[in-house]
C-alpha cells in the first residue's frame, strides 16, 4: 500500500501532504482512516515502509472535538519522526 493518486484528492493548502478518498486518509507516509462522530474521535493508520500501525480512539466531549488526531500525531512524532509532513 502507499500513495494512491488515482484514488485520492489532495487537500487544498497542504502541498499534497494530505490526501483523502474512498474513506482513506493519506497523511505524509501514513495511510488510514480518521473519524469523529457522536462523541468519539479516532485515528487508525498504517505506515507501509515500517509495517507499523498506530491506533488512537478516545471519547470526545462533543461532536466538534477531535482529540485523537493531536494525540496520534504526538505518538507518531515520537515513534517515526520523519514520516509526517513538515507544516
pLDDT recorded at residue 9: 76
Do the domain assignments include residue 86? no
The pLDDT, as a whole number, for residue 69 is: 86
- Over residues 9-28, mean pLDDT: 77
User: Any idea which of 11-20, 53-62, 66-75 has the lowest mean pLDDT?
Assistant: 11-20
The CA–CA distances, whole Å, from 27 to 43, 45, 54, 55, 62 equal 11, 9, 13, 14, 24
| Number of separate domains in the chain | 1
- Residue 24: strand pairing partners: 21
Give domain status of residue 15, yes or no.
yes
Is 87 part of a structural domain of the chain? no
Asked if residue 1 is part of any domain, the answer here is no
Which domain range does residue 43 map to?
9-79
CB contact at 8 A, 75 and 54? yes
Alpha helix positions (H), the chain: 67-79
pLDDT given at position 39: 77
* Higher-scoring residue by pLDDT: 9, 87: 9
Confidence of residue 1 (pLDDT cuts 50, 70, 90): very low
Give the C-alpha separation, 84 to 31, whole Å: 11
Amino acid at each position: 500500500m502507499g500513495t494512491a493518486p488515482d484514488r485520492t484528492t489532495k487537500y487544498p493548502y497542504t502541498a499534497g501532504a494530505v490526501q483523502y478518498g474512498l474513506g482513506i486518509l493519506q497523511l505524509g507516509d501514513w495511510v488510514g482512516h480518521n473519524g469523529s462522530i457522536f462523541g468519539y474521535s479516532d485515528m487508525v493508520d498504517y505506515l507501509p515502509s515500517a509495517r507499523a500501525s498506530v491506533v488512537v480512539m478516545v471519547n470526545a466531549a462533543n461532536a466538534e472535538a477531535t482529540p485523537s488526531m493531536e494525540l496520534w500525531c504526538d505518538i507518531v512524532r515520537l515513534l517515526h519522526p520523519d514520516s509526517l509532513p513538515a507544516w
